[in-house]
Amino acid sequence: MKSLNIKDYNDNIPSVITVGTFDGIHLGHRKLIEKVLDISESENLRSIVLTFDPHPRVVLDNDNNISLLTILEEKNSLLESVNLDYLIIQEFSQEFSSLTPIEYVKTILVEKLNAKHVVIGYDHHFGKNRKANSEILHEFSNLFDFKVTEVEVLIKDNISISSTKVRNLVFEGRIREANALLGYEFILTGKVIKGLGRGKNLGFPTANIVVDSDKIKPANGVYFIKSEINGESFFGMMNIGQNPTFSDKDFSIEVNFFDFENNLYDRHLTIKVIQKIRDEIKFDTPELLSLQLDADKKKCFHLIRTIKKTI
């Protein structure tokens, strides 16, 4: 898969396209993408996902406190595994948001991307103020000679999957439920920085990770995680929060990897969050915290044994 800014895409090859923010690349999004891939093969069309950066809410609602399930780097990484031809990134600006529905379809979908088939979700809206819907897109498809396929909402365990629902689950620390709707383990991607060394003093050395400010963070607490380092998978536990035992005020993400002791400073890691172990707790002494961390680790090892039995 190639990832390009739309300004750098200059091919005129007929394509099948799906369009959206695709925050999280959850199972509902994957249903759309699978339909794109099916049509790409059956109609011999280039497969394209057209997405937006920044998130439209940043521009339209001046929302600078947005919490994304997937930043652009993560979105790109997740889509690399699904055999798409192109991920095309459209800068979402005031100018772009001012395009009328027909201007958007004509200049972006038809002239720029040579769309011959457009795949949309059940609630698709487009154009200035999102005034146009699927009915209008069908009208334009006759005018500009392309097909439209609508994909119904995906229901899992009686829940209609949406990015908003997944976000709420992550905010609440309900990671296992969020992962079920995502179809993969929720990820945090960031750079390892030097911390205060408290974890090492407690017998649990940690990698302190700084993630993008726009990235959603799960509820404060301790989580069971895994990550790939130098091509090898390592399990561990992660604390998210303010370290109340030490009366810290600054938010931090600290990961203790099991059976790994090498220096990770300045490395970029992708942490896969499997499930929450417990809430963040304020202990009276560091020694009591250390005892709890040992219990947390034992719980994680029990989960590791359970996972290995299913492989």
Domain CATH code at residue 113: 3.40.50.620
User: Looking at residue 268, which CATH number applies to its domain?
Assistant: 2.40.30.30
Q: Is the same domain home to 141 and 194?
A: no
User: Are 119 and 218 within one domain?
Assistant: no
Range of the domain at 190: 185-310
Residue 310 reports pLDDT greater than 80: no
Residue 299 belongs to a domain: yes
Alpha helices for the chain (secondary structure H): 27-43, 56-60, 72-79, 94-97, 101-104, 134-144, 163-171, 175-182, 198-201, 286-310
Domain co-membership, 143 together with 55: yes
Instruction: Report residue 7's pLDDT band, with 50, 70 and 90 as the boundaries.
Output: very high
Q: Are residues 124 and 222 in the same domain?
A: no
From 132, 152, 172, the end of a domain falls on 152
Confidence of residue 311 (pLDDT cuts 50, 70, 90): low
The domain boundary, picked from 137, 152, 167, lies at 152
pTM: 0.93
Total tally of structural domains belonging to the chain: 2
Mean pLDDT of 211-238: 96
pLDDT of residue 270: 97
Residue 160 is assigned to a structural domain of this protein = no
Both 27 and 71 in a single domain? yes
Is 13 found in the same domain as 125?
yes
Residues 17, 106 within the same domain: yes
Angle at 219 (CA atoms; ends 291, 29), nearest 5 degrees: 130
- For 135, phi then psi, to 5°, come to -60, -45
User: Do 223 and 97 fall into the same domain?
Assistant: no
